[in-house]
Amino acid sequence: MKVIYSEKQRLHRVKYEFLSGEPTACFEKPERADMVLNAIDQHGGFSVIAPNSYGTEPMQWVHTADYVEFLQSAWSEWEARFGSEHDASPYCFISPRHLRHRIPKDIEGKLGYYSFDMTAAITKTSWEAIQSATDCALTAADLIMQGEQSVFALCRPPGHHAAPDLMGGYCYINNAAIAAESLRRQGKEKVAILDVDYHHGNGTQSIFYERDDVLFVSIHGDPDYDYPHYIGFADEVGEGAGEGFNLNLPLPQGKTDWTLYGPALQTALEKIQQFGADALVISLGMDTYEHDPISYFKLNRDNYAEIGRQLGQLQLPTLFVFEGGYAVDDLGHNTVAVLDGYMNSPA
């Protein structure tokens, strides 16, 4: 399996985040990708290649032009106003949301305007990492269109929380959504996205919620108790042309092991088959692990291998896009378990 990765992704390192009211070292850090690369190297059977460059136009397939421009200029505006000691981070947000009809001129206002929480700070070199992550997803999509059965886009920062004009949840540009859109534009008539991250892919849902050519399915922690809290409920099924093409499968916090997760996965796979997808994008979040520090499912490495096997049995061209997962010491081997399960899935 080809793995697409850029060393430029190491350039994004946020100094700290707030967790339960306390400043703490950010869980989303370059070492996450390092552990995956190490496990891939130890396992064998993978080929790591650098991405092509695509510029910003593909980002605007799923994000607004003003939002993409903001991401490019945010640090320079922040540094001019506040210096470089601290990361650029929002503290003032719009409420109610319908007041978002005027883009602020000041960087403090812009950060709040384009954010839905405080977990997506911007550093001096964040933009290069963000762009390289998107390049990885787009390169993977091109390889699928060239005939590869499966490709792994090792993207960080992750992307599935990023909405058309909002960052949050460690996410800035929605890599999985752009990959799916690339597949559509290159000829795949129906693309399914399966999000297996512990946290609901609110950004991806918002991008495709009114479309019937991209199915979005998510298995995640119950938003009544888990981030992102306000979206990801089972009654969110899509709107307009997209009605019936959004499936949320929320599962209980602290109780979900394979006995609950396995049936939810089966429901998700049946939905994908009914949809008639001719390509599959996996938002591969690994924070469903039993020892993840900020999540509350109880999956283990054997479960991840089984997830991979069941995905492989769909026999669809499959593009894996790396999302969350913060138990760094085990992250690499857990990720490889999914990919190896897929590659060795019985026909």
DSSP 8-state code for residue 11: G
> Which phi and psi angles does 169 have, rounded to 5°?
60, 40
- Name residues whose C-beta falls within 8 Å of residue 323's C-beta, 6 or more positions apart in sequence: 155, 158, 159, 160, 176, 195, 197, 201, 283, 284, 285, 286
Exactly one of 12, 161, 199, 200 is catalytic; which is it? 161
Is-catalytic flag, 43? no
Per the DSSP assignment, residues forming a β-bridge with 24 are: 17
The count of other CB atoms within 10 Å of the CB of residue 259 is 9
C-alpha–C-alpha distance, residues 167 and 68, integer Å: 11
C-alpha–C-alpha distance, residues 214 and 244, integer Å: 11
The count of other CB atoms within 10 Å of the CB of residue 13 is 15
Three-state DSSP class for 303? helix
C-alpha–C-alpha distance, residues 146 and 141, integer Å: 9
Residue with tokens 């640090």, as numbered in its chain = 75
C-alpha–C-alpha distance, residues 313 and 170, integer Å: 32
C-alpha–C-alpha distance, residues 254 and 237, integer Å: 25
Residue 150 · residue 108 · CB < 8 Å:
no
DSSP secondary structure of 72-138: HHHHHHHHHHH-SSS-B------SSGGGTTS--SSHHHHHHHTBSSSS--B-TTHHHHHHHHHHHHH
Q: Which residues are catalytic?
A: 161
